[in-house]
Amino acid sequence: MPGKVLYIADLDGTLLDSDKRVSRYSQQVINTYLARGGSFTIATARTLATTGKIISGLHINIPVVLMNGVAIYDLHKGIYVKVVAIPQATAEAITGILEEFKITGFMYSIDNNKLNIYYEELYTPALQTFHDDAVRKYNKVFEQVTKLRHKSRSQNIVYFTLMDEYEPLNRAAQALVNLPGINVMLYRNIYSDTLWYLEIYGQAASKRDAVMYLRERYAFDSVIGFGDNLNDLSLFEACDECYAVANAVQELQDQATGVIGDNNSHAIARFIAEREGLITD
């Protein structure tokens, strides 16, 4: 493909293998491509703390898209270059609906270039595991509060992550979609048969909008994207070519330019190596 090209990949279930790692082969190929002047970055639902550690072996040269497009972060400058907040009144309304449905989770704010994460209580094994793994593996800092709605009145709220079985989250989602100024995303956790995620963020935030920002900011002529789950549909909307890994949900495969190998077969790295004529060991 002629012109200046950006390759952009989701992490979990896409670039990462089942152990949630970037394989050594993938690191080798991507870093070789970057060293030759290519451009590659990430678009993930994860935050900076987890993303930064997971991709530390990659020499990424373009800001990364975090929290499904809520934030774009420049790894080299150490700053958020774009953040989309939820309107304050809407953030407070979200917390009221969550209280009504007796669902809680994690609420995120970004203030003064710092990410803050709040929660009320870890009342399910899923919430406890999410919290404990984030602290143990990635040194994330959480703040327990009495009520999320109290914090929503004074902070720059950007994101909510809730995790539970499908039915309770779906009921809450049906109430939340009527609020102004937000996106509501409900999708299955690829690492569990029963756990689902409900994520809430500003209407102007999406992987699509983030990719369009990067395309314009860095004057890319074309973008090639890779994904596996429903939250990658918006990523695909912004790409000239989009490829689903073989383990992707059918809805994403149906929208893809093509389907490549699964996330345990270094599929993205193999695609780039073949496309760019890279010789690897």
Domain end among 202, 222, 246: 202
Instruction: Take residue 224 and report the two structure tokens written for it.
Output: 């090639």
Q: What is the DSSP letter of 186?
A: E
CATH of residue 71's domain is 3.40.50.1000
Shared-domain flag, residues 262 and 239: yes
**pLDDT at 2 (0 to 100):** 61
Shared-domain flag, residues 114 and 211: no
Shared-domain flag, residues 64 and 123: no
143: phi then psi, degrees, rounded to nearest 5:
-120, 120
Structural domain contains residue 281: no
Shared-domain flag, residues 98 and 74: no
Structural domain contains residue 177: yes
pTM of the model: 0.90
**Structural domain count, the chain:** 2
Q: Mean pLDDT score of the chain, rounded to an integer?
A: 94
CA distance 157 to 154: 9
3-state secondary structure of 19: coil
Tally of residues, the chain: 281
3-state secondary structure of 143: strand
Domain end among 202, 225, 260: 202
Contacts of 197 (CB under 8 A, 6+ apart): 45, 161, 162, 163, 169, 185, 186, 187, 188, 189
Identify the burial level of 281 via C-beta atoms within 10 angstroms of its C-beta, where 0-12 means exposed, 13-18 middle and 19 or more buried.
exposed
Q: Residues 169, 114, 81, CA angle at the centre, nearest 5°?
A: 95
pLDDT of 192 > 60? The answer is yes
CA distance 160 to 231: 15
**pLDDT at 188 (0 to 100):** 87
- 189 pLDDT band (50/70/90 cuts)? confident
- Cβ neighbour number for residue 124 with a 10 Å cutoff: 16
Domain end among 182, 202, 222: 202
Mean pLDDT over 143-154 rounds to: 91
pLDDT of 142 > 80? The answer is yes
Mean pLDDT over 241-257 rounds to: 97
**pLDDT at 243 (0 to 100):** 98
Name beta bridge partners: 258. Answer: 243
Write out the residue range of the structural domain in which residue 52 sits: 5-83+206-276
